[in-house]
Amino acid sequence: MVRIILDWLDHRTGLETAVKDFMLEEIPASSGWPQVFGSMAMFFFMLQAVTGLLLSFNYAPTPGEAYNSLQFIMNELTGGRFIRGLHHWGASMMIVVVALHMAQVFLWGAYKKPREATWMVGVVLLLITLGFGLTGYLLPWDNRAYWGTVVATQIAAKSPGIGDYLTRLLASSDGIGVVTFARFYAMHVMLLPAAMVGLMMLHVILVRRHGVAPAPGDTLPKKKFYPGQVFKDTVAIFIGFCILMALAITMHAPLEKLADPTDISYIPRPEWYFLWLFQMLKLFEGPMEVVGTHIIPGLAVGLLMLLPFLDRGKVARLADRKLAFAALLLVATALGGLTTAAINSAPPSAVSHGGEMAGAAWHTLPPSELAGLAHFRKQNCLACHAVGAEGGKLGPDLLQLPQKRTIGELVAFFKNPQQLRPGTNMPPVTIPGPQLNDLASFVVKLDAGNAQGLLAAPKTVAEGAVVYQNNRCNMCHVANGNGSKLGPPLNGVGKKRTRQWLLEHFVDPQKLSPGSTMPPYRLPEKDLAALTDFLIELP
């Protein structure tokens, strides 16, 4: 029955035959571990597509809301921080793998006749891979993304002959705004993926047409792609994925404070794979800037495209390609030196800690976690526990716990410490369940990079978050990426409304917002003042 079904599918679709032809293709006997990078690059692209799709389910592709949705993904969504980590660090892994693949092809001389078109398509694929990094940089809409894109669009505006056209295309003539964001997003999720898939298919077709380049003097009988090379490709992909998993788990994808176009003191820094270009700006200043930003990179790309026509000699053994080794070493040294110089020249203010700028960390906390800080203070947790340099020594340092606990585990421990840890001198935390959840959310949030910034939150603002949580304002409003969209979003309300307007609106919403479904809130004056402080401080 299975054979009948497979025969039917193969007769109607040709799928089984196509898979067999692909897996049983003959490759040179000299093929082996150096040829695994092409399959790795394809895998990492598919992984980027999958993680990007998962992020899109909760990502809001508009300025401001994009930032809030990322806060929700990273702080509220199950596995959200891990998925974003895979996507963020996966971009770097893909660039590394594509660069290694091209270096391997270059050293082996596999770009020579009849594989010139295969190499040229590969160069375009490298540029598209870098394009993904450039267009995706703006999408978090934090300060890092905003000011980095300002620099990128200013460089594009100085392109000889086409600067004005690129400025209009990127909608950046009046600064970075909604239209610029929309065009970067469209390029990142529609244009570049379509181009990548099409060119990858063409690249594979060309590789199949001309075959994998054999080593000079390889006279041994050819072997099948499966199982030997498939095994090597699978092992290499597994190792690469393990490295990516480790990065996603141990190194949080950066997210600084909300983009602030007025923060002219911010020093933009691109991703590491563009740092060499950033450093070139310092070497070619003033009228010579175009040399470092356009002429030299343009010549480099042109040289890569024309390489098969410039090097028309016969394919030589790897040990005899000394000039190729020297050229690759020279390029790697130059790029590595420029990148190292850019890293060493980074001012402390430009380096993010733990995914957030420490001084602004509390501004971006969801209301539940900020309310948790208020409960943390009210329970006087610092009397027994240290948080870095602050606090007591009776309990463990909350930044040095050997294992991070989940919110559920912490809530259970708060309710009955003796049951879960016999002999502990910690008393039960006697506050209502929702407040226990908020307290646990705050403790889980603490790490070495943000602790100082979180504990700096003003007392009245944290208490305002408690009022916000107790009155379930999140059932209708979104604040810092958390809540429902029945009512208007609250981020930025402090710039739109006065303090007095907010106080009066709580008491009589219909008076100031006719038609509003919001009920009046007859809260104590102290609670109203704290809630207003919280709303005004929302970025």
pLDDT digits (tens, 9 = 90+) for 75-116: 889 999 999 999 999 999 999 999 999 999 999 999 999 999
pLDDT tier for residue 258 given thresholds of 50, 70 and 90: confident
What pLDDT, on a 0 to 100 scale, did the predictor assign at position 355? 38
SS3 387: strand
The span from the CA of 178 to the CA of 169, in Å, is 13
Query: Cα 382 from chain centroid?
Result: 34
The span from the CA of 149 to the CA of 181, in Å, is 10
Please determine, for residue 356, whether its predicted confidence score (pLDDT) is greater than 50: no
pLDDT tier for residue 402 given thresholds of 50, 70 and 90: low
Summarised one tens digit per residue, pLDDT across range 433-492 is 899 999 988 888 888 878 888 888 888 899 999 999 999 998 999 998 888 888 889 988
**Three-class secondary structure assignment of 184-239:** HHHHHHHHHHHHHHHHHHHHHHHHHHHCCCCCCCCCCCCEEHHHHHHHHHHHHHHH
User: CB–CB of 468/530 below 8 Å?
Assistant: no
What pLDDT, on a 0 to 100 scale, did the predictor assign at position 522? 86
User: CB–CB of 399/451 below 8 Å?
Assistant: yes
What pLDDT, on a 0 to 100 scale, did the predictor assign at position 288? 87
Mean pLDDT of 312-337: 92
Mean pLDDT of 276-282: 86
User: CB–CB of 445/369 below 8 Å?
Assistant: yes
SS3 71: helix
What residues form DSSP beta bridges with 483?
Answer: 478
What pLDDT, on a 0 to 100 scale, did the predictor assign at position 281? 82
SS3 458: coil
What pTM does this model have?
0.67
Query: What percent of the chain has a predicted confidence (pLDDT) above 70?
Result: 96
Angle made by CA atoms 169, 175, 176, in degrees to the nearest 5? 75
Write down all domains in the chain, each with its CATH number in brackets.
Answer: 2-350 (1.20.810.10), 359-537 (1.10.760.10)
For 31-35, 134-138, 379-383, 394-398, which range has the lowest pLDDT when averaged over its residues? 394-398
Summarised one tens digit per residue, pLDDT across range 117-147 is 999 999 999 999 999 999 999 999 998 999 8
User: CB–CB of 308/213 below 8 Å?
Assistant: no
Residue 192 is encoded by which pair of tokens? 């570049």
Q: What is the mean pLDDT of the chain?
A: 89
Query: Cα 38 from chain centroid?
Result: 23
pLDDT tier for residue 395 given thresholds of 50, 70 and 90: confident
